[in-house]
Amino acid sequence: MTSEPSASREAIVPDIGSLIEAVGGPASLSRLIGVTPRQVSRWRRGQNLPRPRNAKLLGDLHEVIARGTLLWGDQAVLMDWLTGSNTYLGQATPSDFIRLGRTAEVLIVIDEILSGAYA
């Protein structure tokens, strides 16, 4: 058994500390991706790596936060948007879509807002 899968996951998982800071704390991160706060703490301390599904969710959330920050620039506004119902996503929240693996649709909405399509 090799450690290659873990090394691969480590390479694609964004910095957990930065994500925690960007979303306002470990409890917020755990709610956004659907894991326990305890799990987030273990990742932060380096006690284990996220499983592949969670690693993907973390990467997706990182991308959404990066684009959302370009658009709003304010953490509170971004968090309200991520956790609030969204007309363009059928009244679901963007974080629901991320957890369901539908991040591409969330990114399209952000890109369309950035381009002025919804103005």
Query: pLDDT tens, 72-117?
Result: 999 999 999 999 999 999 999 999 999 999 999 999 999 999 898 8
Mean pLDDT (whole number) for 35-54: 92
- Asked if residue 56 has pLDDT above 90, the reply is yes
Where in the chain are the domains? 4-115
Cα(6)–Cα(12) distance, integer angstroms: 10
Q: What is the pTM of this model?
A: 0.84
Grouping H, G, I as helix, E, B as strand and the rest as coil, residue 69 is helix
Task: Write the single-letter amino acid at 18.
Answer: S
- Asked if residue 2 has pLDDT above 80, the reply is no
* Distance linking the first and last C-alpha atoms of the chain: 54
The residues, any chain, with a CB within 8 Å of residue 63's CB and separated by 6 or more, are: 103, 107
Q: What is the pLDDT of residue 11?
A: 47
